[in-house]
């Protein structure tokens, strides 16, 4: 099966392009952010812990997210593939993903790195704040999330490169063109 990592800064369009890939290829989609927000809504133990970190724009601890991810992945093994959206976000998570897949005879097929300029990212997130009302979509928390992204998550690009799975896509103002390029890449794996 295909194991696709979709990677990029907050607001880079991970959810949007994941949806396009789900529609085209019938993949299952794991968005760790969506799973955590559902846990918060349901008031679970994990949700209570996650809420404290998300509101501050910080990452939730690696061990919590890694356990959760493996459980969700195991419900999706029958389909054509899985898209990992919002995971991994640290080197520890990346190594855990590699081990988790290896233990199941699987591997990362490709990582799609979405490159978008920071002013477009900020504009999109502030706009989304008005529509979705996410607790972490305010200017102060967004700045913290960018900072967390650049310090903890961005270094993963080198790791993906070393693993030989990195593929990069630069947003040039046209979402449909970006979708076309991403689909072509996924068709070639």
Q: Which residues contact 4 (CB under 8 A, 6 or more apart)?
A: 21, 27, 81, 82, 83, 84, 109, 110, 111, 112, 186
29 binds, among ligand ATP, Mg ion, none (CB under 5 to 8 A by kind): none
Q: Which is nearer to ligand ATP, 92 or 188 (CB)?
A: 92
Question: Is residue 164 classed as helix, strand or coil in its secondary structure?
Answer: coil
Any bridge partners for residue 28, and if so which? 82
Helix (H) or strand (E) holding 83: strand 81-85
For ligand ATP, which residue of 3, 14, 17, 182 counts as binding (CB under 6 A)?
A: 14
Name which of Mg ion, ligand ATP, none residue 186 binds, using a CB cut-off of 5 to 8 Å depending on partner kind: none
Segment lying near ligand ATP (by CB under 6 A), choices 32-40, 72-80, 96-104, 172-180 = 32-40
Is residue 171 a contact residue for ligand ATP (CB under 6 A)? Answer: no
Q: Does 156 bind ligand ATP (CB under 6 A)?
A: no
Q: Is 33 in the site for ligand ATP (CB under 6 A)?
A: yes
Answer for which of 8, 12, 13, 15 binds Mg ion (CB under 5 A) is: 15
CA distances from 21 to 11, 67, 124, 126, 154 (A): 18, 25, 21, 25, 23
Q: Which is nearer to ligand ATP, 10 or 81 (CB)?
A: 10
Q: Which residues 6+ apart lie within 8 Å of 85 measured at CB?
A: 6, 14, 15, 18, 29, 30, 31, 32, 33, 34
- State CA 64 to chain mean position distance: 16
Q: CB under 8 Å to 166, separation ≥6 — which residues?
A: 111, 113, 157, 160
Site string for ligand ATP, 118-147 (x = CB under 6 A): ------------------x--------x--
Residues that bind ligand ATP (CB under 6 A): 10-12, 14-15, 32-33, 36, 53-54, 57-60, 65, 86-87, 89, 93, 136, 145
Residues that bind Mg ion (CB under 5 A): 15, 33
């Amino acid at each position: 099966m295909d194991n696709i990592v979709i990677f990029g800064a907050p607001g880079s369009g991970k959810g949007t392009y994941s949806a396009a890939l789900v529609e085209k290829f019938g993949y299952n989609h794991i968005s760790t952010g969506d799973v955590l927000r559902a846990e918060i809504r349901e008031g679970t133990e994990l949700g209570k812990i996650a809420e404290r970190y998300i509101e501050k724009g910080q990452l939730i601890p690696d061990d919590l997210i890694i356990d959760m991810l493996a459980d969700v992945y195991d419900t999706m093994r029958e389909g054509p593939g899985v898209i990992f959206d919002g995971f991994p976000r640290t080197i520890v998570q990346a190594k855990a993903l590699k081990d988790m897949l290896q233990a199941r005879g699987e591997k990362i097929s490709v990582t799609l790195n979405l490159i978008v300029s920071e002013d477009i990212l900020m504009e999109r997130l502030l706009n989304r704040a008005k529509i979705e009302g996410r607790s972490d979509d305010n200017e102060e928390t967004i700045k913290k999330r960018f900072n967390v992204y650049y310090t903890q998550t961005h270094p993963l690009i080198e790791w993906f490169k070393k693993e030989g799975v990195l593929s990069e896509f630069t947003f040039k103002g046209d979402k449909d063109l970006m979708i076309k390029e991403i689909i072509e890449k996924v068709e070639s794996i």
